[in-house]
Chain A
Amino acid sequence: MVTRLCGHAMEIDAGGRTVLIGGACRDCGNRAFPRAEVCCACMSEDIAAEPMPRSGTLYAFSTVHVASKKWKKPMRVGYVDLPNGVRVFSHLEGELAIGDLMEAGLGIVGEDENGPIESFVFRKAAK
């Protein structure tokens, strides 16, 4: 699945779950999200698409009231730290606290002239 906002950076797997697709360098093992054409650690261009872990820890977040017209406001955004060492900037939903275990899903984060804007969204993981 290719959303207008996220392009090839996410997929919906056979079980209907949202999976972020990052990159893993075949030469040095460095990981990044989203996948880049060149490795920022060793300049290799041999980078495999790699599904990222679906859950991680909320590092920091803010509820934002002033932003471009297209975003649904107030919007909650933050950084989620994945267990593979990658940090992901994401829209968030729900009542949250730093340190919460978060899980990737799909959500509508805004609307523009082409309709609703869909994105991966992290929510508090079910216990």
Chain B
Amino acid sequence: MTGVSVVGVGMIPFGKYPEKNIADLGWPAVKAAIKDAGIEPKRIQAAYSGTARGGAMVGQRILGRLGLAGMPVVNVENACSSSSSALRQAVIAVQSGAYDIVLVIGVEKLSKFGGGTLPLDEDDWEVRLGLSMPALYAMRAQRYMHDYGVKLEQLARVSVKNRRNGALNPDAQMRKEVTVDEVLSSRMIADPFTLLQCCPTGDGAAAIILASNTAAHKIRRDPIHVRASHLTSGKFMAGFRDMTSPEITVRGAHECFEEAGLGPNDIDVAEVHDAFSIAELLYYEAFGFCPRGEGAALLESGATCLGGRIPINPSGGLLAKGHPVGATGAAQVVEIVRQLRGEAGPRQVEGAKVGLTHATGGGISGFDHGACSIHVFQR
């Protein structure tokens, strides 16, 4: 199997761009990734584009702007894992030997919905009855707080940390630091979440260029190797399930670590799916960065802050960088690649050699989540 590396990354700052359409958002990220790779654009042989709510033919619409259409383009929808799932397909394509150089795009425009919670599909029974993403994560938080005695202030510290990181990231949507008091006194969304414990609604785009290892080493001296690439879907359970442990991520992490031949202690930096404050604590535990029930203690120890043992979400994560759903997975890769190259400026994790990205989502009845994609990168 051919090894695969990242040779170029690019993104636009996440934010609100009501005047732009999805192609307007996407092309600058693609152009930036091509420039970063320093390759002739025509060398790209196929493209995989992820968006959750962007509509049909988004990859073609973006590539058309740049005169790059005419190659195979695959459009991928997998909720919050859309572009990380597109990346998975791109990795498989290069591994198979079908292509040497491929492009991955993640793009979303949520400002078109005019704010409020992410619209979900009312064909789904629980959504029809009123379930929303904040409500789903809020129930996880309530049960977690009940089972492990975690306090509101401890949840709020996730937002405080990630906003502090976001303040150091010019690509982040929220660039102002906040205090625990400010987090807790912001308006209530779904108990226990106040506004500042929910990722903001916004727009964004990110792009990645992959190459076979052979091609990659001719393109640049510091390609970032894809050590593991993993995608799975949730398991449907009509009965009871433990909402304090995300089944899909626990399983995905285990399988991904096995594929990489690595364990949680080998990870130097990670971008995980902190859509709401509780999520980051659940994912510390799901990845084995700490035992069950000790997520809040791990955060309070400083281990997951910049300068700590295992910095999590140095970009600001979804809570500060923003969460234009389909763009998130690709943007996580942009951050990890910059970290592994030593290009992250004031938020650089010193000496980072191995990084992980994790995008999971899709609120549907009977599932923990619909999709989860995890990647491990190494310099």
A binding-site residues for B, Cβ under 8 Å: 5-6, 30-34, 40, 59-68, 71, 74-75, 77-79, 81, 85-87, 89-91, 98, 109-110, 119
Total A-B pairs in contact (CB under 8 Å)?
A: 92
B binding-site residues for A, Cβ under 8 Å: 116-117, 125-126, 128-132, 134-135, 138-143, 146, 187-192, 236, 238-241, 243, 365-366
B239 to A, closest residue via Cβ: A85
Given the known inter-chain contacts A65-B189, A98-B143, please indicate yes or no for A89 contacting B131, CB distance below 8 A. Answer: yes
Flag if A75 contacts B240 (CB, 8 Å): no
B187 surroundings in chain A (CB, below 8 A): 65
B125 surroundings in chain A (CB, below 8 A): 34, 89
Q: Choose from A59, A61, A63, A89 the contact partner of B129 (Cβ within 8 Å).
A: A89
> Which 8 pairs, one residue from A and one from B, show the smallest C-beta to C-beta distance?
A62-B138, A32-B238, A60-B139, A60-B143, A63-B191, A89-B126, A64-B190, A85-B239
Q: Choose from A34, A87, A98 the contact partner of B239 (Cβ within 8 Å).
A: A87
**CB<8 Å pairs between A and B, sample of 25:** A31-B238, A60-B140, A60-B142, A62-B138, A62-B141, A62-B191, A63-B188, A64-B130, A64-B135, A64-B189, A64-B190, A64-B191, A65-B188, A66-B116, A66-B117, A67-B117, A77-B129, A79-B139, A81-B240, A86-B239, A87-B241, A89-B126, A91-B129, A98-B143, A109-B130
A127 to B191, CA, bound (A): 27
B143 to A, closest residue via Cβ: A60
A77 surroundings in chain B (CB, below 8 A): 129-131, 135, 139
A87 surroundings in chain B (CB, below 8 A): 238-241
B240 surroundings in chain A (CB, below 8 A): 59, 81, 85, 87
A109 to B325, CA, bound (A): 29
Q: Choose from B134, B142, B192 the contact partner of A66 (Cβ within 8 Å).
A: B134
Contacts A59-B240, A66-B189 given; 4 further ones with Cβ under 8 A?
A62-B192, A63-B190, A67-B117, A67-B130
Q: Choose from A40, A60, A62, A91 the contact partner of B238 (Cβ within 8 Å).
A: A40
